[in-house]
Chains A and B, each alone.
Chain A
Amino acid sequence: MGIMQTDRTLPTNRLIFEGRRDAALRARFGSELEALMSEYGLSEPEKRALREIDIRALGDMGVHPYFLPQITRLFKGAGYNHNQSDAAQLYARKMNIQE
């Protein structure tokens, strides 16, 4: 993974790009994730990884690294995003790294 491995055409990249810009779409991450993923054409491995917030797998598939902590914030909240916050700790756990 890494920015050089970004797959620009990966459906998940479009979903995350648009989700950060569209509040209505964002609301569906919690309530209608399965339908949303199908609408955007995610592959089965992408769906599994996003469903499980498996951000390492998403990174390996070509999701841009910058989106990965944003994915944890989409699910865990973006406010007060210090290193012990739920979103940052989820990132650390999924990436198997520590502060």
Chain B
Amino acid sequence: MATIVSVLALAHAPGATGWLDRAPVHEQEALIAGYAAMAKRLHESRPDVIVGVANDHMLNFSMNNVPDWCVGIADQWQGPAEWFRDWVNIAPYRVAGHRALGRAIVQGCAQRGFGLAFAEQLEFDDNWSVPLHFLTPAHDIPLVPIHMNCVLPPMPAPARCLAFGRVLGEVIRAWPSDARVAIMATGGLSHDPGGPKYFEVDEAFDRGFMDLLAAGDSARVEREVSLERMMAAGDGGTVELLAWLVAMGAAGDCPADNIFYVPSVPLRCGMGGMAWNLPL
């Protein structure tokens, strides 16, 4: 059976690659060091494949038909989507997919009550381009991208995201393969693209959220995290942290390390990352 060897969650905001030079030097250094520490955690776990979970910024699914989750099952991916290349300032890249695992996730989740969409084609923007740039700059680890709806109501509630994460973890662990699998959630932390808090970061919310997840008590997370509280910290963006709840569900109730946090107004986002300490 496959093994989940690491579970990570980290921010993907485009300023990290698009206009990092406009942030103060101490923010730049903390961000680069933070992403490097996240990359170290990933590579130390020696993954054969990454299962990613991130917000679809309403790039792939027209509003007439938006799935909660959509699994990319193609053999090959490429990014960034054309219009987003200048924005993220990342050259075109290719990364392998993993059809067998993608299909196993769709089938296994269906058998356990989660009907997932799946796709042969998905456009990538900052959701994968930024974290892959920092964590796997050679783009040499296959990716199964799971795009989720974090921002177009109705979004899946926090409890449902945790439940999906538990099922996703169960399905991966039941997959008949000797593969080592990393789970990487991307998005958040507080930011408000398109809202009145465009130039604000809610540091208190971000730190509280990371500490809450790091404690490893999903029942408490279910009680204390709400869509309303997330939206209050940044209506159009902070809710991307729903993807982090999927990661937590997959990790199980184990504690996590807060690897870095940089509240950056120049990047218009609370930038951070954490990694779960999985039981051996």
Contact = CB atoms under 8 A, between A and B. Distances in A.
Interface in B46-105: 57-59, 62-64, 81-84, 86-87, 89
Interface string A12-52: 01100110110100100000000000000000000000000
Given A3-B152, A13-B63, A67-B194, A82 B57 contact: no
B222 interface: no
Contact of B199 (A20, A73, A92): A92
Contact of B266 (A8, A26, A67, A83): A83
Nearest to A87: B87
Interface stretch (B14-22, B111-119, B178-186, B245-253): B14-22
B51 to A, nearest CB: 25
Nearest to B239: A3
Interface residues of A, number: 39
A79 B149 CA distance: 26
Contacts of A82: 15, 18-19, 22, 266
B151 interface: yes
Contacts of A69: 193-194, 198
Interface residues of B, number: 37
A74 to B, nearest CB: 9
A84 B198 CA distance: 13
A80 B198 contact: no
B57 A81 contact: no
A8 B59 contact: no
Nearest to B236: A65
A20 B194 contact: no
Interface in B110-162: 123, 151-153
B126 to A, nearest CB: 11
Nearest to A55: B194
A91 B268 CA distance: 13
Interface of B: 14-15, 18-19, 22, 57-59, 62-64, 81-84, 86-87, 89, 123, 151-153, 192-196, 198-199, 231, 235-237, 239, 265-266, 268
